[in-house]
Amino acid sequence: MEILAYGVQADEQPLLEKAFAGRHSLRTLAVFLNRDTAPLASGYPAVSSSVNDVLDAGTLTVLAAGGTRLIAQRSTGFNNIDLDSAAGLGLTVARVSHYSPYAVAEHAWALALAVNRRLTRAANRSREFDFRLDGLLGRDIHGMTVGVIGTGKIGECFARIAAGFGTHLLGWDIAPNPACLDLGMTYTELPELLTRADLISLHVPLLPATHHLIDGAALARMKDDAILVNSSRGGLIDSAALVETLRAGRLSGVGLDVYEEETGVFFTDRSIHGITDDTLARLVTFPQVLVTSHQAYFTHTAVGQIIDATVRNTDDFAAGRTNENTLVPKG
């Protein structure tokens, strides 16, 4: 079967080509999938999409008209896909239901540690041979109260690392995770967690109920010197409210691997032309903020698992089978 893969990163391309070799014919594109680029898939029965592609009704209509029958998304999240439209057009949609939770949890901790110990500022100074310690004072993680919002597989991994640092764990989720309880985690209501935690990390999916979960009111509950980390989905945080909170001199560190308007910006080079998103432009100017480009998943282990699952999804579709990754079955 012929497959067109959109939004393929340079490091990802050889791994994809190797995995599909001898099984299906694969063509990769660096461009993202949207209404403008969807016509490129004409004649391809299968399309593989990335998390920052836009698969709205218009894009899906173009794909279906061109003969596409399978959308194989290379991510766990699928809020970028209009599933109802896909079903109506007879498109099968599959995702990657899971991959290494350690990749994301470890990156979340990398962000937390970096903003706490001012590592970006320190590294930039060292390159200029400025070895002063002014403004680099951090805090011990040991003894902190760490709030984990969402205690599924990734949240559990984050909590295990937190326990290793010797922290006090608070959790919030629709149901307690027994493994987190074994770590000594205390589950609380969200307002209490926000008020008590020194460090807060987000690990819930983006749903209508969690959109802007961290809004102005939630930010106001946090300690003035709290650290906030988001490696889940950008829409969990009201970015404009976050900017206002930082402008007020609150929060000692913010680590963001995701941003609510990242589509069309993350995974691209904007170093020459800049960006038109004033909120993102403002966020990156705060010295206590560190933004990475949705790279928490980007390890050899996790990417390999994502690709293996994508190959299996394609194999199963070709054989007329569904699996646990199927979001919309064959119409």
pLDDT value at residue 113: 98
Residue pair 290/111 in contact by the 8 Å Cβ criterion: yes
Distance CA 48, CA 13 (A): 12
Give me 204's structure tokens.
Answer: 């819930």
pLDDT averaged over 10-residue windows placed end to end, the chain, 331 residues: 96 96 95 97 97 95 98 93 97 96 98 98 96 97 98 98 98 98 98 98 96 98 98 97 98 98 91 94 97 96 97 96 93 65
Domains of the chain: 2-99+299-328 (3.40.50.720), 101-291 (3.40.50.720)
Instruction: Exactly one of 233, 244, 260, 270 is catalytic; name it.
Output: 233
Distance CA 212, CA 162 (A): 25
pLDDT value at residue 305: 97
The strand pairing partners of 235, in sequence order, are none
Identify which of 312, 272, 265, 326 has the alpha carbon closest to the alpha carbon of residue 293. 265
pLDDT value at residue 86: 97
Residue 41 has what DSSP assignment? G
Tokens 């079955």, located at residue = 329
Instruction: Exactly one of 12, 156, 260, 262 is catalytic; name it.
Output: 262
Residue pair 63/73 in contact by the 8 Å Cβ criterion: no
- Which residues, in sequence order, are CB contacts of 303 under 8 Å at separation 6+? 11, 12, 15, 297
* Three-class DSSP category at 87: helix
Residue 233 a catalytic site member: yes
Q: Which segments within the chain are labelled E, that is strand?
A: 2-5, 25-28, 46-49, 70-73, 92-94, 145-149, 168-172, 186-187, 199-202, 227-230, 253-256, 289-291, 326-328
Residue pair 95/75 in contact by the 8 Å Cβ criterion: yes
Residue 262 a catalytic site member: yes
Instruction: Exactly one of 69, 107, 196, 294 is catalytic; name it.
Output: 294
Distance CA 275, CA 18 (A): 35
Residue pair 275/39 in contact by the 8 Å Cβ criterion: no
pLDDT value at residue 331: 65
Q: What is the pTM of this model?
A: 0.92
Identify which of 3, 94, 51 has the alpha carbon closest to the alpha carbon of residue 297. 51
